[in-house]
Amino acid sequence: MGDNAIMREQKLFKVVGTRPVRPDGTPKVTGLAQFGADFALPGMLWGDILRSPHAHARIRSINTAKARALPGVKAVITSADFPEQKFEYVGPERVAVNYWHMTRNVMAREKVLYEGHAVAAVAAVSKAVAAEALRLIEVDYEVLPHVIDVDEAMRPDAPLLFENMITRGIEPAPTKPSNISKRIELKLGDIEAGFAAADEIVELNFKTAPVHQGYIEPHACLARFETGGQGEIWASSQGHFVVRAYTAKLLNMNIGDVLVHPAEIGGGFGGKTVIYVEPVAAALSRKTGHPVKIMMSREDVFKATGPTSGASMTVKIGVKKDGRIVAADGLFKYQAGAFPGSPVMNGVMCGFAPYNIPNVRSVGYDVVCNRPKSAAYRAPGSPISAFAVESVMDAVAARIGMDPLKFRLMNAAKVGTPTTWGPKHAYDSYAYTVQALLDHPAYSAKLGKNQGRGVASGFWFNNGGESSATVHINEDGTVVIATGSMDIGGSRASMAIMAAETLGIDYTSVRSIVADTGSIGYTHVTGGSRVTYATGTAVVEACKKVIGELCARAAMIWDVDKGDVIWEDGCAMPAGKISGKFEPLSLKAIAAKRAVTGGPIGAEASVNAGGFAPGFASELCEVEVDPETGAVKILRFIVAQDVGRAIHPSYVEGQMQGGAVQGIGWALNEEYIYGPDGKLQNAGFLDYRIPVASDLPMIEALMVEVPNPNHPFGAKGVGEVNIVPAMAAVANAINHAIGRRLTELPMSPPKILDALNSPRRG
């Protein structure tokens, strides 16, 4: 699998594993870095979007005449300004991209399917005029009954979002339409025989509420298009190539006619791998011939961008007295939101993945309902199913009187263990994460009154895929690395580190930038824990190519055979029969002679990286529950994660800490609260309560390094798996503290008080 020379050398790395300051750091601490909303152009118009006040309604008509007549309004658009798209599922089926759905999510056509659904947009000379214009647009709605809760949406008498939706994945296909877009089932072994052989069985039901990714930066972009023609977009997103592709598709343009500049991005977590405002701004710009800027309000972000699924689940695990799990059965019903495509398949595949279970069945349902379409959120689908599975694991361990970590170790997946979805595990790393917690002194520390300790584990695939990178040697011997990966968490630092290590030069002589869609090859999204792995691989490939070129140039300078030149410690060195005959040539020296040896020196590499190793995490949580208020205080939180190799340890720790805290928020406070009218009641950060600094202790990050043999430096994805075990770890800790198991998220104070007031259960 490629040249693993760097790994095989086994020497200590010079730069990989160190903690230098990121090369893009100063602009971010001085306010100079430009995020999606920070761009402006002369003649710029402000765009704003009219959104449905109803959870479910047919659009009878839209009258934009008054809005168009308002002085200062330059364009008003509706779905009529977007071409219709063919109804077909294309591309990845798990997060099914169907442009028929996508165009309707960006701008509603026949119906509005959630409060906040976009129905029209305007471009005007100021924000105030744009807002006034929206007020003048008249939409005639026929309000329809709505349904939001996943169990209710699955009922045969539930209001239908799509009158012709027939569930896929059921043979024979149902005759009646429903809100169930898809059913999936994965099976291994014989669960009936498995459960028959079990000594103890625990079966529990779970419910989770939708939660938002909660990025602090609302979606924003600036579009500048020729009237009816080509154009550019400055956007913060998790993938400017995806922004380009989707925008072009929705406007029936050639991909090459759209150029996307990557702005800095203020958080994404998956929620910015999809588009909302870009095609709207582009359409308005094309219509007016002026640049158009759109920035979503926080309220619109909550109401109209995808939170993850709420879910209803049942998990049953059967075990022998000695601790061996003999059977497991899971039912996972996930809200997709207004259009199909919840991450239920991920949930189904990941839930039991850390374990060696001979008889397993997982069934998943993707269910549409009247709330925004779900978007990816950090290991999409996996944290939800893990909440259920890891809670039952905890209950089972308690039932047989076994230590919960030792129980997991006994049943840990190893190389060769089959997964529910077929392939055998190729890696042993799960057990290391459990052992790391077992070995931690906190695990056996004494706890006080109303305090409890819980553990949980989780799995995530990580990802690879298409990435491109270029490396250019500047005239002074310094280096510029460019990639197509938006930098959402410090990846420019790790790209520079990998380049410096490969080239054998000082970190400070490497500049690392993110190039626009016209300047570099296709690169897939910054998400899915793929950048350090796949884009890093591309960077290393490009650097190796340039090393070949540098050696060739040195050979020309010395007038020797290229085969006698090697690259060591950042210099071309004479070797073989000319060993010692010439002084080493640094990058600077070779760059100085570039013109006479053939011209500028650079290289590009594009990869479709495979062999991305999955990630495991095990987490330990200690809580103290206040019996009077139901408030839960997190006393301690430890994340043990197999990280492959930490290219820049500070940023790996940062991912682990950030993911854990999102999981804590998901566990304790975060939820979408809908009124009986289907309207969101907490569309702001005051009442959608994410963790603040005073809620938390220091999060301890234990990086377990089991190098990934498929990456030049052993790296693998680290961004996502850390959120997967968090909610169950908190739930298990609360159960330990108060002797009551909460099976509904969030475990907010009223729910804790309710639980405390109910009799103790097993």
Partner 1 sequence: MAKHHVTTTVNGNGVEFLCETQQTLLEVLRDELHLTGTKEGCGTGDCGACSITIDGRLVCSCLMLGVEAQGKSIQTIEGMATGEKLHPLQRKFLEHAALQCGVCTPGFLMAAQSLLERNPDPTEEEVRFWLAGNLCRCTGYNKIIDAVLDAAREIRGN
Partner 2 sequence: MAAAPARVVLIGGLGSYYTGGVSEFEIEAKTLHDVIRGLDERCPGLGEYLVEEESTVAIDGEIHQIGYHHPVRPGCEIFFIPSIEGG
Binding site for partner 1 (CB under 8 A): 19, 21-22, 25-26, 28-35, 37-38, 40, 126-128, 213-218, 264-269, 295, 297-298, 488-490, 648, 650-651, 653-655, 657-662, 684-686, 690-696, 698-699
Q: Which does 385 bind (CB under 5 to 8 A by kind): partner 1, partner 2, none?
A: none
Sheet strand arrangement including 451-460: 451-460, 615-625, 632-642, 699-704
Looking at 111-119, 268-276, 595-603, 748-756, which segment touches partner 2 (CB under 8 A)?
268-276
Question: At closest approach, how far in Å is the CB of 603 from partner 2?
Answer: 21
Cα Rg, the chain, nearest whole Å: 27
CA pair distance 249, 399, nearest whole angstrom:
55
Residue 95 touches partner 2, criterion: CB under 8 A? yes
Looking at 250-258, 403-411, 562-570, 608-616, which segment touches partner 2 (CB under 8 A)?
608-616
Question: At closest approach, how far in Å is the CB of 171 from partner 2?
Answer: 6
* Site residue total, partner 2 (CB under 8 A): 56
Question: At closest approach, how far in Å is the CB of 616 from partner 2?
Answer: 14
* Alpha-helical runs (H) found in 487-535: 491-503
Under 8 Å between Cβ of 458 and 430: no
The mark string for 462-481 relative to partner 2 (x by CB under 8 A, - otherwise) is xxxxx---------------
| 248-281 burial code (b ≥16 CB/10 A, e <16) | bbbbebeeeebbbbbbbbbbbbbbbbbbbbbbbb
Count, residues in the chain: 762
Under 8 Å between Cβ of 74 and 141: no
β-pairing, 200-208 vs 258-262, is unpaired
Q: Which does 452 bind (CB under 5 to 8 A by kind): partner 2, partner 1, none?
A: none
Determine the Cα angle at 274 with ends 131 and 721, to 5°: 130
Residue 611 touches partner 2, criterion: CB under 8 A? yes
Query: What number of other Cβ atoms are within 10 A of residue 288's Cβ?
Result: 19
Question: At closest approach, how far in Å is the CB of 465 from partner 2?
Answer: 5
CA pair distance 744, 727, nearest whole angstrom:
10
Q: Which does 175 bind (CB under 5 to 8 A by kind): partner 2, partner 1, none?
A: none
User: CA-CA-CA-CA torsion for 346, 425, 538, 720, nearest 10 degrees?
Assistant: 40
User: Of 612, 651, 674, 713, which lies in the binding site for partner 2, with binding defined by CB under 8 A?
Assistant: 612
For 735, the 3-state DSSP assignment is helix
At 391, list the tokens: 């809670």
At 476, list the tokens: 């002074």
SS3 content of the chain, % helix, strand, coil (to 5): 30, 25, 45
Residue 305 touches partner 2, criterion: CB under 8 A? no
User: Of 92, 401, 448, 580, which lies in the binding site for partner 2, with binding defined by CB under 8 A?
Assistant: 92
Q: Name residues contacting partner 2, limited to 703-762 (CB under 8 A).
A: 710, 717, 720
The residue (of 357 and 640) whose beta carbon lies closer to partner 1 is: 640
Question: At closest approach, how far in Å is the CB of 604 from partner 1?
Answer: 27
Place of tokens 């990966």: 485
Question: At closest approach, how far in Å is the CB of 305 from partner 1?
Answer: 14
Q: Which does 530 bind (CB under 5 to 8 A by kind): partner 1, partner 2, none?
A: partner 2
DSSP states along 562-579 = GGGEEEETTEEEE-GGGT
Q: Name residues contacting partner 2, limited to 490-529 (CB under 8 A).
A: 527-529
User: CA-CA-CA-CA torsion for 108, 113, 116, 117, nearest 10 degrees?
Assistant: -10
For 207, the 3-state DSSP assignment is strand
CA pair distance 639, 723, nearest whole angstrom:
9
The mark string for 352-391 relative to partner 2 (x by CB under 8 A, - otherwise) is -----------------------xxxxxx-----------
Q: Which does 40 bind (CB under 5 to 8 A by kind): partner 2, partner 1, none?
A: partner 1
Question: At closest approach, how far in Å is the CB of 705 from partner 2?
Answer: 20
At 72, list the tokens: 């200062």
Looking at 20-28, 103-111, 166-174, 622-630, which segment touches partner 2 (CB under 8 A)?
166-174
* Cα end-to-end distance, the chain, whole Å: 51
Q: Which does 90 bind (CB under 5 to 8 A by kind): partner 2, partner 1, none?
A: partner 2
The residue (of 424 and 577) whose beta carbon lies closer to partner 2 is: 424
Nearest to 724 by CA among 647, 641, 646: 641
Q: Which does 528 bind (CB under 5 to 8 A by kind): partner 2, partner 1, none?
A: partner 2
Query: What does the binding site for partner 2 look like in residue numbers (CB under 8 A)?
Result: 90-95, 168-169, 171, 184, 186, 213, 268-271, 273, 343, 345-346, 349, 375-380, 415-416, 421-426, 460-466, 527-530, 608-614, 710, 717, 720
